[in-house]
Amino acid sequence: MNLCIFLSFSANICMDNTNTSQNNNIKIQGEFVPEVVVTLDAFTDAIYFEHHILLWKDPSVNIAAKILKGLGRRFIAGLPIVMTEAHGSGKIAFSRDGVGQIISLQIKPGTEIDVREHQFLLATKNVDYSFTRVKGISNILIGGTGFFMDRFTGSDTEGTLLLHGYGNVFERNLEANESIDIEPGAFLYKDSTVNMTSTFTALSTGFFASTNLVLNRFTGPGRIGYQTMSVYVSTDSK
């Protein structure tokens, strides 16, 4: 569906609300709070996800608990240790309780993607789920990501990763040593090759109290994904 806005100065802005995935078994549909529908094959397909995002499923699709790798380290860090796995023959659908956009990323073998916590939806079984510690005390305290980020790694075959972004999601591909400054709450995902630091800009008129503008600086090479709506999710939402 195309949503077009006609402005008074005769310029037309059109937004395409159709989301696509390179995986033919995955269909993303809807506008404000979209759903993703996955068609599973009983012999080859399995996906894992957070249980609270399940929307509906065919009775022929089976779900079970999946223990993540690094159980001890995850427990100490206070990160999720159990996901829900779906397999069988049929369809299963997911949605997160928030206005935004669902995006699909193809994860090639050896590729590592770092993702803001609480914005993972689901992944195919050939995508490994771990975590990485955020480096730098300023990044931890004011970078908007906390101590950790989710890390997804492609295994021996190409897999699919789906994320939920608040508002709309856009991607910027950075060349080596090319940088972009992004508001901390807008960061969504990045290639592991992209470096993140925090920058400060003092805002003062000279007469009144000053403040600092904090931005995250991402330096390539690699992709950086950002969302247009900044939402800070409490850790109680796990």
- How confident is the model over 24-77, as pLDDT tens digits? 889 999 989 999 999 998 766 899 998 899 999 999 999 999 877 766 666 555
What is the arrangement of strands in the sheet containing 169-174, beginning at the earlier edge strand? 127-133, 148-154, 112-115, 187-191, 222-227, 169-174
How confident is the model over 179-228, as pLDDT tens digits? 999 998 899 999 999 999 888 777 766 666 567 788 899 999 999 999 99
Count of beta carbons in the 10 Å neighbourhood of residue 228: 14
For the cut 70, the answer to whether the pLDDT of residue 108 exceeds it is yes
Burial tier of 15 (Cβ tally within 10 Å: 0-12, 13-18, 19+): exposed
Give the pLDDT of residue 219: 97
pLDDT-based confidence at residue 119 (cuts at 50, 70, 90): very high
Contact in structure between 121 and 188 (CB atoms under 8 Å): no
Give the pLDDT of residue 83: 86
Give the pLDDT of residue 100: 95
What is the pTM assigned to this prediction? 0.80
Q: Does residue 169 or residue 4 have the better pLDDT?
A: 169
What domains can be seen in the chain, in order of their start residue? 17-228 (3.60.160.10)
Cα atoms in the Cβ-side hemisphere of radius 13 Å centred on 97: 7
For the cut 90, the answer to whether the pLDDT of residue 7 exceeds it is no
Q: What angle do CA 238, 213, 192 make, to 5 degrees?
A: 50
How confident is the model over 164-193, as pLDDT tens digits? 999 999 999 999 999 999 998 899 999 999
Residues 6+ apart with CB under 8 A from 100: 33, 34, 164, 165, 166, 167, 168, 169, 227, 229
